[in-house]
């Protein structure tokens, strides 16, 4: 059954994202309720999971045996995450791995956090994505309250983008110009719960660059192995 773990993981994230969104996008907003704010955070985390699933598909590990299915799921996850273009994501991400922390790296722009974030976003946003979001928003307004659409559908996607950038790009690559660091990447301290909650283990970023064939749930094991080696 291990060969189907990637499919199960991506499928569960897609299912939970859809069910959670379907419930809260029509639920009356109670500003005093902590459950509403928790729902935004949960939806943000599920959006991040969509992107991570798409990212794993880029590396071919959602379904190793069935490449077409692998990339179909990656494309679906990218679309659900604010209509991202999987083809662009795939091309740019492979460039990131090939030219990490160089002038040819599309993800790393050393310097001010906000300038870096803007340049990072500019690499991936396409006019077709903006058009699709606008059309979908206006269609959703026919059936659901505008506030719910903004707070449950749009805001979590924006927050997830920030989450992915901060924990998955900025912290791992900030100021990394170490001659003995072959991947020009660093990892967070070993804390598997925080690694999952913050960015589906991609705080263990050196491990990802060292073994890009590992799916997100295997990065904790790689971190364990590296921690044991470094402690000897």
pLDDT in tens, 141-153: 999 999 999 999 9
Higher pLDDT, 111 or 22: 22
b/e per residue 61-86 (b: at least 16 CB within 10 A): bbbeeeeeebbebbbbbbbbbbbbbb
Q: And the tokens for 217? A: 């749930």
> Residue 110: what pLDDT?
81
Cα 135 to chain center, whole Å? 24
The fraction of the chain above a pLDDT of 90, given in percent, is 62
Q: In terms of C-beta density within 10 A (0-12 exposed, 13-18 middle, 19 or more buried), how is residue 48 classed? A: buried
> Residue 111: what pLDDT?
80
Backbone angles phi, psi at 127, to 5 degrees: -60, -30
> Residue 127: what pLDDT?
85
Beta-bridge partner residues of 204: 187
Question: What mean pLDDT value characterizes the chain?
Answer: 90
Q: Note the pTM of the prediction, 2 decimals.
A: 0.91
CA torsion angle 219 167 71 90 (round to 10): -120
154/165 Cα distance (integer angstroms): 17
The fraction of the chain above a pLDDT of 70, given in percent, is 96
- Other C-beta atoms within 10 Å of 94: how many? 14
> Residue 156: what pLDDT?
96
Q: How confident is the model at residue 226 (pLDDT cuts 50, 70, 90)?
A: confident
Among candidate residues 39, 32, 33, the one with its CA nearest the CA of residue 16? 39
Q: How confident is the model at residue 177 (pLDDT cuts 50, 70, 90)?
A: low
Number of H-type helices and E-type strands within the chain: 12, 0
- Other C-beta atoms within 10 Å of 189: how many? 10
> Residue 179: what pLDDT?
62
> Residue 9: what pLDDT?
94
Backbone angles phi, psi at 187, to 5 degrees: -120, 155
- Domain extents in the chain: 2-182
Q: How confident is the model at residue 105 (pLDDT cuts 50, 70, 90)?
A: confident
Do 215 and 207 meet the contact criterion of CB atoms below 8 Å apart?
A: no
Mapping DSSP to helix (H, G, I), strand (E, B) and coil, where does residue 109 land?
coil
pLDDT above 70 for 231: no
> Residue 194: what pLDDT?
94
pLDDT above 90 for 123: no
Span 189-197, average pLDDT: 92
Q: How confident is the model at residue 1 (pLDDT cuts 50, 70, 90)?
A: low
215/220 Cα distance (integer angstroms): 10
Tell me: the pLDDT tens digits for 12-66? 999 999 999 999 999 898 889 999 999 999 999 999 999 999 999 999 999 988 9
Listed in sequence order, the residues at least 6 apart from 141 whose beta carbon sits closer than 8 Å to its beta carbon are 149
> Residue 65: what pLDDT?
87
């Amino acid at each position: 059954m291990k060969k189907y773990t990637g499919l199960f993981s991506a499928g569960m994230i897609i299912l939970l994202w859809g069910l959670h969104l379907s419930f809260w996008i029509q639920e009356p907003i109670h500003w005093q309720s902590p459950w509403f704010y928790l729902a935004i955070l949960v939806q943000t985390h599920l959006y991040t999971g969509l992107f991570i699933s798409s990212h794993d598909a880029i590396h071919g590990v959602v379904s190793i045996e069935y490449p077409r299915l692998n990339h179909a799921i990656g494309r679906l996850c990218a679309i659900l995450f604010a209509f991202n273009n999987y083809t662009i994501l795939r091309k740019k991400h492979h460039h990131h791995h090939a030219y990490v922390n160089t002038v040819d790296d599309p993800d790393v722009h050393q310097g001010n956090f906000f300038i870096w974030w803007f340049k990072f976003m500019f690499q991936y946003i396409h006019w077709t994505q903006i058009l699709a979001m606008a059309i979908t928003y206006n269609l959703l307004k026919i059936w659901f309250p505008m506030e719910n659409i903004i707070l449950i559908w749009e805001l979590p996607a924006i927050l997830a983008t920030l989450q992915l950038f901060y924990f998955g790009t900025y912290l791992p690559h900030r100021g990394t110009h170490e001659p003995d660091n072959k991947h020009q990447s660093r990892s967070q301290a070993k804390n598997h719960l925080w690694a999952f909650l913050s960015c589906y283990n991609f705080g263990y970023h050196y491990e990802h660059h060292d073994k890009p064939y590992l799916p997100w749930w295997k990065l904790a094991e790689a971190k364990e192995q590296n921690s044991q080696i470094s402690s000897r």
